[in-house]
Structure 1
């Protein structure tokens, strides 16, 4: 019985050896594929964040320009009103009547 047990243990050892080799190969391939997928996903996420930041900056610049247009328009309207009002011969501040 000792010889049959030894041969049985030998085959179990070979099975465990081959099983561990395939398990290690699977773990290596799985980790490499996971790293590649993570890298590609990270690249797309980076591109999305950069594009989103550029859109935020463009929106901020657009708001700044729109605000300046409004302020310049109001100033131009006030200047135009001042020129039109004074061209009619009227004074800006009414003087007190003295009797």
Structure 2
């Protein structure tokens, strides 16, 4: 009886050792391929984030330039109006001075 239980324990130990080795190999291979997959998916997410950031930057720059163009246009209209109306006032003053004389 002792010999048969020792042999059965030996067989169980060898089977557990083999099962453990197969599980370890599977875990290593699975982890390796999962890491490669995550590496590529992370790379594509990184590229997508870069393009999103660039588009956000370009949009912000476009809004900034558009805002500045609008402000400069309003200032140009104001300066034009100021010079135009001050020249008209000077011309009217000269014309009325000529009529008085």
- TM-score normalised by the chain length of structure 1: 0.79
How far apart are the structure 2 equivalents of 1:61 and 1:4? 83
CA RMSD between the two structures: 1.8
Name 1:85's counterpart in structure 2: 85
Quote how far apart the aligned CAs of 1:18 are: 1.0
Name 1:7's counterpart in structure 2: 7
Q: Which has the higher contact order (CA 8 A, sep 6+)?
A: 1
TM superposition outliers: structure 1 runs of 4+ over 3 Å:
none
- TM-score normalised by the chain length of structure 2: 0.78
How far apart are the structure 1 equivalents of 2:72 and 2:82? 15
Quote how far apart the aligned CAs of 1:90 are: 5.0
How far apart are the structure 2 equivalents of 1:86 and 1:3? 121
- Which of the pair is proportionally richer in helix? 2
